[in-house]
Amino acid sequence: MPTLRRAVRYEQKQQRRQAILDVAWEMAQHQPHAAITMNDVADRAGLAKGTIYLYFRTKEELLLAVLEQQLRAWFDEVDVQLQQAQDSHAGSITHVAQIICASLEARPAMARLLAILHSVLEQNIELEAAVRFKQMLLKHLTRTGALLEACLSFLQPGQGAHVFLQAQALIIGLQHLADPSPIVRQALAEPGMDIFEVDFAREFATTFAALLYGIEAKGSNE
């Protein structure tokens, strides 16, 4: 329930906005996005349906904002870890892969949102929201990419961001493979199907490390 009756000042409005985001994030962690209704979000936030729309233009913008917040936190954490890795001269490929992998493993719901970013969250939004999100992504991609370059000396200037984008593709693809529908999960219980049972974190670590080794070996990624 909101503490304030009317959010008049900017700060109050931000608080309310955050309260809505918190509720949506809470829900996103426990159910697929299709099961999340704006009605539920409003109810759980102690607000009226229409009020949600004062803060987010569409359901997709709301969930995109949720993902944005999670991504920010994720990037920040990765940044700290990469910084530490660099300081301690522990910037090996495996270590870097482990850092990213571990941070992802701690955020399964974020990976799930990321997996529907293009097919759902970016579908029913305004230009403004799209630009904002992409600029956020760009900023972090650049910053974290730079840190990556600092950790992995074989990366050329500017290549870090690109590698991170490749990582993003990997996350999305592996998340899809690792999260089958109930009926498919059942099908995969048949003998011989083991290959399809993908452990997201493990697979990501392996594959991303291999990718980095490849870049290192070949000297270029273009």
User: And the tokens for 94?
Assistant: 């495996």
Segment contacting DNA by CB under 7 A, of 56-64, 89-97, 148-156, 160-168: 56-64
DSSP assignment string, 90-134: ---HHHHHHHHHHHHHT-HHHHHHHHTIIIIITTS--HHHHHHHH
Binding site for its own copies (CB under 8 A): 115-119, 122-123, 125-127, 130-131, 133-134, 137-138, 141, 161-162, 165-166, 168-174, 176-177, 179-181, 183-184, 186-188, 190, 192-193, 195-196, 198, 203, 206-207, 209-218, 221-222
Q: Which does residue 95 bind out of DNA, its own copies, none, counting CB within 5 to 8 angstroms by kind?
A: none
What separation in angstroms does the CA of 222 have from each of 158, 168, 173, 215? 12, 17, 21, 9
Q: Which is nearer to DNA, 53 or 213 (CB)?
A: 53
What separation in angstroms does the CA of 100 have from each of 6, 81, 135? 41, 9, 21
First vs last C-alpha separation in the chain: 52
Q: Which is nearer to its own copies, 14 or 135 (CB)?
A: 135
Q: Is 127 in the site for DNA (CB under 7 A)?
A: no
Q: Is 143 in the site for DNA (CB under 7 A)?
A: no
